[in-house]
Amino acid sequence: MALMTAQEYIESLRKLKTRVYMFGEEIENWVDHPMIRPSINCVAMTYALAQDPQYADLMTVKSSLTGHTVNRFTHLHQSTEDLINKVKMQRLLGQKTASCFQRCVGMDAFNAVFSSTYEIDEKYGTHYHENFKNFITMVQDNDLTVDGAMTDPKGDRSKAPSAQADPDMYVHVVERREDGIVVCGAKCHQTGSINSHWHIFMPTISMGEADKDWAVSFACPTDAEGMYMIYGRQSCDTRKLEEGASIDVGNAKFGGQEALVVLDHVFIPNEYIFLNGEYEFAGMIVERFAGYHRQSYGGCKVGVGDVVIGATALAAEYNGVEKASAVKDKLIEMTHLNETLYCCGIACSSQGFKTKAGNYQIDLLLANVCKQNVTRFPYEIVRLAEDVAGGLMVTMPSQKDFESDTVVGRNGETIGDICNKFFAAREGVSTEDRQRVMRFLENMCLGAAAVGYRTESMHGAGSPQAQRIMIARQGNIQGKKQLAKDIAGIQ
Ligand code: SF4
Ligand code: FE
């Protein structure tokens, strides 16, 4: 099958019987729901750009399995060049949406599970790799979006999955049948879950022998029986429900999406199982998936950062301060921080290596350094954006005030006249454009989009401490001590 167009992707979601709940109720037409639609538009962009000849080289690639042209979001990376192109593609998508475009979690899961299943089969003679190859071929051929679901609720963090008071705190097998398994549990803050055709579930931590029933990985359709999602709300999200508030929303076209995904006795046929009890491989899947997703942030957040920097420069221009040396210097600092993240994304890609299964893995130490920086730099970038933009980005009256014809002045001035008079931009710039850029920055820095640019930068792909553990493991302090000893003449 050919690549899907953006419209075909959106229509394909309507055919699914995905169960979505929000504000305590089931949402029937979730595809057109004003709070959900921007996140669908975002994923649709991964399809639209693949159709654009200008981006074909970046967005599409020959499948290593079938030789067919596939969307890079479904690709198994075959070289360091592929890894670099992945980061470039993510930066492009970030630039085009200023949001989390969600489809990367599946891509990162594909590559982690592909290489891990090969090594599980090598040890146990299982057939997980074959299962996975069949699954990914179907995904590529049908140009599907797949959610990579990793983060379990975790309950009491001091206890292993098998030691939890409630066994559902980690996804687990509740029944083993001849033809498959039955699973229960949930995954938290799942990016793009509702917008995906399928899900790949993976363990979220390393496991011991007692955790065998929790060491499970599998794929299932998003509308599988027993599966449903409860939509995660975002700061200022209900602005999207207001009439005539598209400017107040900030980024009315695009947005991210997270949900709680619940598995209530979902049956998984054997052919979609990729791990089932081989507990010592849980950590491998986690480490590889996290590594890829930490690389991803060196692309997507950089692209979003590009838009934030651009908006900040516009705000300065509209305020008439763009020539001030302090403003120029702040824009330089923002650029420096943003490009440093990109350097990390490119570096961990260029130092990638071939796995036993044949696909390419990023350099783990550099990917973790990348993500550790992402937990900091976007915060500094938005601090500078707020500094340059000024307080108006959070104090401006509503779009309805700017458009109001209610008379308030002695000479018949309306609320709209007054707002337009006192919030006027420099000469030659409309008040509306100033309003738009301020609201956009509000949205990015502390509104709904801040989920994707700030808190996701902190906790997405693993919280900062998770990277520090990996940096500690990969940092080779012993080797560095030896370097010092050799030069200092210490025996
Ligand atoms: Fe992709 Fe970035 Fe969103 Fe992860 S946070 S799914 S890498 S856009
Ligand atoms: Fe993420």
Question: What is the position in ligand 1's atom list of the atom closest to the CA of 301?
Answer: 2
Q: At what angle do helices 282-319 and 464-474 cross, to 10 degrees?
A: 120
Candidate list 18, 60, 80, 100, residue with the active-site label: 100
Which residues approach ligand 1 with their CB closer than 6 A? Answer: 90, 100-102, 104-105, 191, 296-297, 300, 456, 460
Separation of CA 462 and ligand 2 centre (Å): 9
Smallest CA separation from ligand 1 atom 7, residue: 296
How much is the pLDDT for 2?
A: 86
Ligand nearest to the CA of 195: 1
pLDDT at 33: 98
Count CB neighbours of 474 within 10 A.
14
Residue with tokens 């919280």: 463
Nearest CA, atom 2, ligand 1: 300
Q: How far is the CA of 305 from the centre of ligand 1 (A)?
A: 13
Decide yes or no: CATH 1.10.1740.10 for domain 9-282. no
- Three state DSSP letters for 16-57: CCCCEEECCEECCCHHHCCCCHHHHHHHHHHHHHHHCHHHHH
Domain(s) labelled CATH 2.40.110.10 in the chain stretch across 9-282
Residue ranges of the chain whose pLDDT lies below 50: none
Would you state the structure tokens that stand for residue 209, as one six-digit string?
Answer: 């022998």
- What's the pLDDT at 414? 98
Between strands 258-269 and 180-191, the pairing is: antiparallel
Task: Select from 42, 102, 254 the residue to mutate for testing ligand 1; criterion: most ligand atoms less than 8 Å from CB.
Answer: 102
Specify whether 271 is catalytic.
no
Neighbours of 336 (CB within 10 A): 11
Give the DSSP H/E element, type plus range, for residue 458: helix 456-459
Q: Which atom of ligand 1 is nearest to the CA of 296?
A: 7
**Token couple for 265:** 């006795």
Return the C-alpha torsion angle 76, 80, 83, 88, nearest 10.
-140
Instruction: Please write the tens of the pLDDT for every residue from 94-132.
Output: 999 999 999 999 999 999 999 999 999 999 999 999 999
Q: Which of 300, 344, 370, 445 is catalytic?
A: 300
Centre of ligand 2 to C-alpha 457, Å, is: 8
Query: Which bin fits 270, alpha (ψ -120 to 50), beta or left (φ > 0)?
Result: alpha
Task: Say how far apart CA 351 and CA 45 lie, in whole Å.
Answer: 29
CB 464 within 8 A of CB 294: no
Q: For 287-474, which CATH class?
A: mainly alpha
Find out whether 351 and 336 touch, Cβ atoms under 8 Å: no
The number of the ligand 1 atom at minimal distance from the alpha carbon of 103 is 6
Please name which ligand lies nearest the alpha carbon of 301. Answer: 1
pTM: 0.97
| Res 260: pLDDT | 98
278 is catalytic: no
The residue whose CB lies within 8 Å of the most ligand 1 atoms, and thus the one to mutate among 107, 300, 451, 453, is 300
CA–centroid distance, residue 478 to ligand 1 (Å): 35
Q: What is the reported pLDDT for 1? A: 65
Other beta carbons within 10 angstroms of residue 126's beta carbon come to: 18
Confirm whether 243 is a catalytic residue: no
Which ligand 1 atom minimizes the distance to the CA of 192?
6
- Domain ranges in the chain with CATH number 1.20.140.10: 287-474
Asked if 384 contacts 480 with a C-beta cutoff of 8 angstroms, the reply is no
What confidence score (pLDDT) does residue 452 get? 92
Q: Hey, what are 307's tokens?
A: 């838009």
| Residue 385, CA distances (Å) to 107, 193, 311, 444 in order | 31, 31, 8, 10
Question: CB–CB of 209/279 below 8 Å?
Answer: yes
